[in-house]
Chains A and B, each alone.
Chain A
């Protein structure tokens, strides 16, 4: 497996607040891997994601990462004045892609997230789950090397969350993209990812491989064992 992300002793400190958001964080992500960062609020998981996305710089340490990354946000971060189609296509438009190619990409990814029929709707006319699907399609339409997700499902109801988990797994399997996702739900991380980095107080406590066959059963014994293990890691 080729490494696509390689963090070596990365620290991120803020000048104003005297706290370090993350300190001495090291991990790698393989190409095509589904990697999850879990931990309580304030543990530094979102900061790690923002460093990968290049939204924030690191204070020290070395980061190897591709520049073609895109992100799905917790709020969706859709532009309310643009239709679903425009939200998905406008980044490519800004990048001067040919109109034919733009349409092709837009249609392809809207189909992938099952939103073809909602092309001309506006974000305010969509449910929370549909908005996140648009966010996923928009992130995919720029053909990133790595797809970042920042707690994308935490504001959704359980049924919608399950649907979106299926959707995301389908997208991952079809596109074979590398995915790095931040979640505060251990169950979600266990259900979706290949490996889980358990974070606490700005550092990675442990990285666990999830060697469970998909589709995973949240009631299965080995699933629950891993769940307990991560819970006890976070409690200590």
Chain B
């Protein structure tokens, strides 16, 4: 009963939501195209260097590659940030030890100590992994600190209620903790994605990490397209990539974050 009615609130109404139908169709098409293009890309890799062949397909492919990397990095940081935040807030003693460490980790410029790690990835012939790793590190701390903020503001009465009703462990996590910090997860995610986008240019321009690196080392993406087009003076390509990026960010804001922020309102305590 409970479950059915809960879903009932979110379920499509076939009478009223043409807009929703339209937007969900777009999303499905976009996701399918993303998967296919990325798959094609891995079968026959395209490099960013071939700027002469610039076509909408290349820009589209670059966008999807970039989105794919951001998504993987985000998923990884989301999965990892929750246990980290839970561990840090577990007890005051742990917090006293761990919080300064994470504070230092987040304030050391991400890029300062990366070249070495990134080089390892490249030596292993996993340049994709290198990009995702940079984005992941850039995203992780925003999520961790947002979640810590959320965990610390769960009302005491709510935690006492969980104790009284003997809700512990995973059940507490699922029914109490995660929903309670949901608004903080959303704002943290917003910041994480903003950070991801802003570091994209550096993350995808892998050749800058390699001594004597050439642009051919860069995996195709919006970031590497921007850097390399600019370097080669291909202004139209540069402009095309930039506009695509702005459109993408706006679309994601509109279709994802706006909706999630509105949803998060339901999860806020008075």
**Residues in chain A within 8 A of chain B (CB atoms):** 50, 53-55, 69-71, 73-77, 79-81, 83, 85-86, 89-91, 93-94, 99, 102-103, 106, 120, 122, 124, 142, 148
Taking a contact as CB atoms under 8 Å apart, the answer to whether A89 and B164 are in contact is no
In the bound assembly, the distance between CA atoms of A59 and B5 in angstroms comes to: 46
**Structural contact, A77 and B2, CB atoms closer than 8 A:** no
How long is the Cα–Cα vector from A102 to B5 in the complex, in angstroms? 14
Residues of A within 8 A of B157 (CB): 73-77
A77 touches B155 (CB 8 A): yes
The reply to whether B6 and A86 form a contact with Cβ atoms under 8 Å apart is: yes
Contact (Cβ within 8 A) A122 B266: yes
Q: Which residue of B lies closest to A122 (CB)?
A: B266
Instruction: Select which of A53, A122, A124 is within 8 A of B164 by beta carbon.
Output: A53
**In the complex, per-residue mask of B188-208: 1 if CB is within 8 Å of any chain A CB, else 0:** 000000000000000000000
Residue numbers in B under 8 Å from A142 (CB-CB): 165
User: Is the C-beta of B163 less than 8 angstroms from some C-beta in chain A?
Assistant: yes
Q: Are B270 and A85 in contact (CB under 8 A)?
A: no
Question: In the assembled complex, how far is the CB of residue B171 from the closest CB belonging to chain A, in whole angstroms?
Answer: 5
Q: Which residue in chain B gives the minimum CB-CB distance to A69? A: B164
Interface pair B6/A79, CB less than 8 Å apart? no
| Interface contact tally, CB-CB below 8 A | 69
| Inter-chain contacts of A102 with B (CB < 8 A) | 1-2
Q: Out of A71, A85, A89, which one reaches B161, CB within 8 Å?
A: A71
- Whether, in the assembled complex, B267 has its beta carbon less than 8 Å from a beta carbon of chain A, the answer is yes
| SS class, residues of chain A in contact with chain B | mixed
Which B residues are closer than 8 A to A by beta carbons? 1-2, 5-6, 155, 157-158, 160-161, 163-165, 167, 171, 175-176, 179-180, 182, 266-270
Q: A89-B2, A94-B175, A102-B2 are in contact. Are A77 and B267 (CB under 8 A)?
A: no
Smallest CB–CB gap between A133 and chain B, Å?
Answer: 16
Interfacial chain A residues near B269, Cβ < 8 Å? 80
B167 touches A71 (CB 8 A): no
Across-interface contacts of B176 in A (CB, < 8 A): 79
Q: CA A53 – CA B5 in complex, angstroms?
A: 32
Interface of B is mostly: helix
**Contact partners of B270 in chain A: CB under 8 A:** 80, 124
Give every chain B residue within 8 A of A74 (Cβ-Cβ).
Answer: 157
B174 nearest CB neighbor, chain A only: A94
- How many angstroms between the C-alpha atoms of A91 and B176 in the bound complex? 11
How long is the Cα–Cα vector from A175 to B88 in the complex, in angstroms?
44
- Give bound CA distance, A184 to B89, whole Å: 34
Residue numbers in B under 8 Å from A85 (CB-CB) = 1-2, 5
Contacts A91-B165, A103-B1 supplied; 11 other A-B pairs, CB < 8 Å:
A55-B160, A55-B163, A55-B164, A69-B164, A73-B161, A75-B157, A79-B158, A79-B176, A80-B267, A81-B179, A86-B2
Bound Cα distance from A81 to B163, whole angstroms: 19
Q: Which of B5, B164, B171, B182 contacts A83 (CB 8 A)?
A: B5
Residues of A within 8 A of B268 (CB): 80
**Is A71 touching B164 in the complex (CB atoms < 8 A)?**
yes
Residue contact B163 to A54, C-beta cutoff 8 Å:
yes
In the complex, which residues of chain B have a beta carbon less than 8 angstroms from the beta carbon of A70?
Answer: 164-165
A112 to B105, CA, bound (A): 55
A76, A81, A90, A148: the one within 8 Å of B266 (CB): A81
Report the Cα distance A86→B269, complex, angstroms.
16
Inter-chain contacts of A69 with B (CB < 8 A):
164
Q: Name the distance in Å between B259's Cβ and chain A's nearest Cβ.
A: 16
Cα–Cα, bound, A55→B270 (Å): 23
Chain A residue numbers with a CB within 8 Å of B161 are 71, 73, 77
